Every structure is written in structure tokens, then in C-alpha cells.
């Protein structure tokens, strides 16, 4: 069952990378970058991103969208464009759910790398979420 966040933010979209609204791409790009943070993208991390994607787009082509977004993020030097898009389009409740999904990607390989944790906290702070709320997501 899709959450309220997913229903509100992602309804009636095809799921191809070129057709995704910017806020959808921004969330997926942050998930991809978190997965890359420890130097490799594990299958478990990809599966977590894929599950998020397929909840939104059951008929979408995950492999195609993932490759396009992965390629696109590799050319970005900053998370600020993704953060700005999310801050402009999402409520605090939605941001908390986004961060919960990002934390699920971090946990998916059964190890929390210090850089992943640090990046999670930085992203949360840039999304204007307090350290206390971020700690609550992680517990």
C-alpha cells in the first residue's frame, strides 16, 4: 500500500526518468548517492531503491530509470539541486518520510558506514529537519 506521501507526490506518472517530475528524480538521486557513499552499490541497496521505485511505478522500467539517474548523478558536484527541489515541493512530513526511505537504503546492506551516516545527517539538516528527528528516524 502506498503511503500518503507517495500517493500525493507521485500519482499518475509513467516512471521513466525523462517523465518523472523533478522532486521524484531528486529523491531517487539522493537514494542512489547514499548507496554509493561507501564506495560500492550493493545489490541490497539497489533492491531497496527498486522497491521504492516499484511502489510508485509498478509498470515502470526500473533498470532504465536507475541507469539514467545514476549516470546523471555522477556528474553532479553537490546535493543542493536535489535538496532545493525537495524543499520547494515537500512538506515536513514528506521530508521525514523521504529520510526514512533513505535510511532504509543505508540499512539495507546491514552496515552503516560513517560516511553514509554523516551524509544522512547533512541531508536531513539541509531539509531543515532537527537532529532529534533524524535520530528518531535512525532508531
User: Domains of the chain by range and CATH?
Assistant: 21-138 (1.10.3680.10)
Q: What's the CA gap between 125 and 81, in Å, rounded?
A: 15
Nearest to 90 by CA among 11, 4, 15, 9: 9
Model confidence at 9, in pLDDT bands (50, 70, 90)? Answer: very low
More confident residue, 125 or 16: 125
To the question of pTM greater than 0.75 for the whole model, the response is yes
Q: What is the pLDDT of residues 80-137, one digit of tens each?
A: 888 999 999 889 998 999 999 999 999 998 888 888 889 899 999 999 999 999 999 9
3-state secondary structure of 87: helix
Amino acid at each position: 500500500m502506498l503511503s500518503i506521501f507517495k500517493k500525493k507526490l507521485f500519482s499518475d506518472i509513467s516512471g521513466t526518468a525523462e517523465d518523472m517530475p523533478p522532486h521524484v528524480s531528486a529523491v531517487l538521486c539522493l537514494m542512489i548517492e547514499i548507496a554509493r557513499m561507501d564506495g560500492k552499490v550493493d545489490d541490497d541497496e539497489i533492491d531497496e531503491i527498486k522497491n521504492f521505485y516499484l511502489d510508485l511505478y509498478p509498470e515502470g522500467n526500473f533498470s532504465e530509470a536507475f541507469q539514467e539517474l545514476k549516470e546523471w548523478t555522477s556528474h553532479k558536484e553537490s546535493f543542493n539541486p536535489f535538496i532545493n527541489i525537495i524543499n520547494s515541493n515537500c512538506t515536513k512530513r514528506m521530508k521525514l518520510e523521504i529520510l526514512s526511505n533513505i535510511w532504509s537504503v543505508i540499512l539495507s546492506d546491514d552496515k552503516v558506514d560513517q560516511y553514509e551516516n554523516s551524509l544522512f545527517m547533512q541531508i536531513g539538516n539541509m531539509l531543515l529537519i532537527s537532529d532529534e528527528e533524524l535520530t528518531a528516524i535512525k532508531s
